[in-house]
Amino acid sequence: MDRPVIGILSSLKSGDPDLSRANKAVSVPYAYVLSVLDAGGLPLVLPPADGDAAVAGMVGKIDGLLVTGGNDLVPQLYGEEPGWGQGSFSPERDHLDLVSIREAYARGKPVFGICRGIQSVNVCFGGTLYQDIRRVETCTVNHWQNAESSRPSHTVGVGRDSVLYPVLGESALTNSFHHQAVKRVADGFRVGAAAKDGIVEAIEKENGPFVLGVQWHPEQMAAAGDPAMRRLFALFVEACGG
């Protein structure tokens, strides 16, 4: 059986902000690539591209879409102005994420969003974000850990009706590196997991093609050998195999 091709969304990176876009590098952390390979998929890095048609053409070549971490989304995309604590933007990455997600969903291709990826999925379908959870009074868990990225730091509770439940059980220890999070969940989605302070840690489409987003970084834990996070990538790649 052919291995499914997994499109991995990338960012434009540069250590010098004065460099032109043409001199920036296309970048994706290697842990995503390793996790897809280990789960039986074939990774294909998708770069930011001008125009919807170019992005749609790339999505047409893959079997599933992995939406990776990165900059904050431009808040106007979900009807807000930037507030205190809002981080840096990447319009090129916003375009790549939102067009890719729409195209993949329209074509019935599975989508898996990680960290920024869950936020992009939620915004793409009409949800909103907390621009900085440190300003949310009920946020009492440290969501930006001071430990290695492969190590878990806090607990998430998993809903029994979630696609995550057979993989993670009723709770899981996850790593955490985010200051934004899902606020209003998009219509047609449900919360699959949450931290003990109520911050949303996973959302999933209730009906239709496989669409799942998680707020933590399972690729870092999976690449280090964590069995539960490796099962999570296997769940996604299996869905892409159809």
Asked whether 25 and 7 are in contact (CB, 8 A), the reply is no
Contact 13, 25 (CB under 8 A): yes
Locate all alpha helices (DSSP H) within 51-179, ordered by sequence. 52-59, 91-106, 116-124, 165-168
| Side-chain-side CA neighbours of residue 92 (13 Å) | 17
How far apart CA 89 and CA 196 sit, in angstroms, is 29
Task: Please tell me the number of Cα atoms within 13 Å of 236 on its side-chain side.
Answer: 34
Measured from the Cβ of residue 35, the count of other Cβ atoms closer than 10 Å reads 29
Q: In 3-state terms, what secondary structure has residue 148? A: coil
The residue written with tokens 């809002």 in the block is: 86
Q: Where are the beta strands (DSSP E) in the chain?
A: 5-9, 11-13, 25-27, 42-46, 64-67, 111-114, 129-130, 154-158, 171-174, 181-182, 189-195, 200-205, 211-214
Catalytic residues: 115, 217, 219
* 16 CB neighbour count, 10 Å cutoff: 8
